[in-house]
Amino acid sequence: MAQDRVFFFDTTLRDGEQSPGCSMTQAEKLIMAHALDDLGVDILEAGFAIASEGDFAAIQAVAKEVRRPRIASLSRARREDIERAAAALEPADRSRIHIFLASSDIHLEYKLKIGREEALEQAHKAVALARTYVDEVEFSPEDSTRTNIDFLCKIVQVAIEAGATTINMPDTVGYTIPDEYRQMFRTVRERVPGADKVVFSAHCHNDLGLAVANSLAAIEGGARQVECTINGIGERAGNAALEEIAAALMVRENHFQKQHGLKLEKLYPVSQQLAQIISFGPSPNKAIVGGNAFAHEAGIHQHGVLSNPLTYEIMTPESVGVPSNRMVLGKHSGRHALRSRLLALGYDLNAEDLDAAYHAFTELADRKKAVYDLDLINLVAHHKRHADLIAAETVGEA
Ligand code: KIV
Ligand code: ZN
């Protein structure tokens, strides 16, 4: 098993979607799933099949349409959840059931009201049952970072014996710190028999602003999969931001020496796509994809960047898909400028669609001082929805 490859497990459509202001319709999930496929994620967690009819249908639709990444559904360690996940994933070529079960004493006592022995039994049964449906089963001892380390090793061992292929050790409440998380991975990998046969995974929440740092520390501790979301959306303070982990692996390749399958130049377009779908975008000072991430205001910085961008930029904007062309689009801008900006954002429109987009753009530019990338993405999405509607009506009439 190649040790120098990190797998990106995207959970924007599950953990990300679970947070306020981030819910998505099935059609929106499909748009995002295609964008994540283009970005190159390895595993795409499309939802939690038993959570609702909508989630079930969305996972099924993603499993039907998006063929390259492995499609995953979340599931509790219960028969009905596992059966529902397996049914939703049925159309996928490659699928994974992701089972979670609390392992910390506080969760066992107050949430599940069961003891450790019962948890071990449930973990074993659930993983073994899931393996009868799919060839990849991921097991997550929920709240791993507040779990007694001996018990954590025990439950991981039971899950591996039952057939788990990936072991994810989530920092469910965003409590851990990098040294501790790195060591946790080392300890479990050293102590548990069969650990060398599975992929270990990190899943971090950002309650202390450490989700990305912890994910990178986990990689140093031997994690070969990272679970993350676009723009870091997710429960409470969010999940680890995919674009930040990916950029860190690129900029500090000398340190991490890890390969992955992402096309980094898609990071900004995907971030903007998500912002267009949910009710908010990344804050201006957000690393990698925020509006100011490559902006230089101070004179000394501007001077440095003009003589050599590397004086104040550790990566080029283009390397993460941020259009380097800082021309502001406004009502005096022409069709060429619009086309080149749309291309940079990942939209290669044919002549007819470009005409329509240009027409809508000039109307917008008349009303607004400056037209930003997000406006353009909205504009193209609106035009596409309109065209799809007309196409659907034409098919209906025929
Ligand atoms: O944060 C968490 O523990 C989770 C699990 C379901 C993996 O999202
Ligand atoms: Zn989570």
DSSP letters, 264-313, are GGGHHHHHHHHHHHSS----TT-TTTSTTTT---SHHHHHHHHH-GGGT-
Q: What DSSP element (H or E) covers 97?
A: strand 95-102
CA-nearest residue for atom 2, ligand 1, is: 172
Nearest atom in ligand 1 to 205's CA: 1
Q: Does the beta carbon of 138 lie inside 6 Å of ligand 1? A: no
On the CB side of 42, CA atoms within 13 Å amount to 15
Cβ pair 76, 99 in contact under 8 A: yes
Could you tell me the residue ranges of all domains in the chain? 7-278, 295-394
**pLDDT tens, per residue, the chain with 398 residues:** 567 999 999 999 999 999 999 999 999 999 999 999 999 999 999 999 999 999 999 999 999 999 999 999 999 999 999 999 999 999 999 999 999 999 999 999 999 999 999 999 999 999 999 999 999 999 999 999 999 999 999 999 999 999 999 999 999 999 999 999 999 999 999 999 999 999 999 999 999 999 999 999 999 999 999 999 999 999 999 999 999 999 999 999 999 999 999 999 999 999 999 999 998 999 999 999 998 899 776 767 767 777 888 888 899 999 999 987 556 677 888 888 888 888 888 888 999 999 999 999 998 888 877 788 878 888 887 777 666 655 666 555 54
pTM for the full predicted model: 0.87
Q: Does the beta carbon of 100 lie inside 6 Å of ligand 1? A: yes
Q: Does the beta carbon of 142 lie inside 6 Å of ligand 1? A: yes
CA distances from 106 to 103, 116, 143, 146, 205 (A): 8, 11, 9, 8, 18
CATH of domain 7-278: 3.20.20.70
